[in-house]
Amino acid sequence: MGLSIANSIQMLNLQEQVEMVENTLSELSQTMQIHEAKLAKIQPNQIKIAEQLQVTQHAINDIIPVLDSHSQALNTLKTDIERLHINFQRSFIYLAITQIFRNQFTLNFLSPDDLQKVVYHVIEQGNLTFNAHHGSIPIVEFITKLLVRQQIDFIPSSQYENQNPQEIGRIVITSFFAVPQQEQTSFHVYKLLTMPYL
């Protein structure tokens, strides 16, 4: 029983010392940026630097400029890729808007994922079925041929809740589809025959 109590007290003391070391290291890392390899001796209420590790320190000193140059190169690449992505999106949207203004119906302003959603939504709502034949037109082109009207509207930022103060408005592209109905009303064709008058 006495040994168990002694062990519990030692565990509490050890836990307090570990917390003290963690807090001290946290404060030290917040006050300065450490790029050194040193041996430290932990004493009550302090951490004492015992010895600097020379070989490791030289390796760290040699690798830091390389890491900095890699970091700069990666940041440059990231910025360039983001700019390229924005330019790529703008070119597709510009081309699609130009086509719509010329009354050439298109769905090219949609991203591939959104285009797939639109196509499947039109197929589902119209209850359309397709037979796949070699040389038949792609489904996206078929759905595009169902467009009967497209219009582009500009909505100023004063008419909606805007999070970005630099945003002046949004472009809204509305597309109208004419989906053929499977259930058609029946009709009859009559042929008039001439008969001799009696």
Q: 56 with 68: CB under 8 angstroms? A: no
Q: Whole-angstrom Cα distance, residue 30 to residue 161? A: 40
| Residues spanned by the domain of 151 | 105-198
Has residue 25 been placed in a domain? Answer: yes
Q: 73 with 110: CB under 8 angstroms? A: no
Q: Are residues 194 and 120 in the same domain?
A: yes
Residue 2 pLDDT greater than 70, yes or no: no
Residue 105 pLDDT greater than 90, yes or no: yes
Identify the pLDDT of residue 34: 53
Identify the pLDDT of residue 150: 93
Q: Are residues 26 and 115 in the same domain?
A: no
DSSP symbol at 33: -
Q: 143 with 178: CB under 8 angstroms? A: no
Q: Whole-angstrom Cα distance, residue 43 to residue 24? A: 12
CA distances from 127 to 103, 117, 183 (A): 27, 15, 11
Has residue 113 been placed in a domain? Answer: yes
Number of structural domains the chain divides into: 2
Q: Are residues 109 and 181 in the same domain?
A: yes
pLDDT digits (tens, 9 = 90+) for 157-195: 888 888 888 889 888 999 998 887 766 677 788 888 888
Identify the pLDDT of residue 184: 66
The predicted model gives 60-79 an average pLDDT of: 86
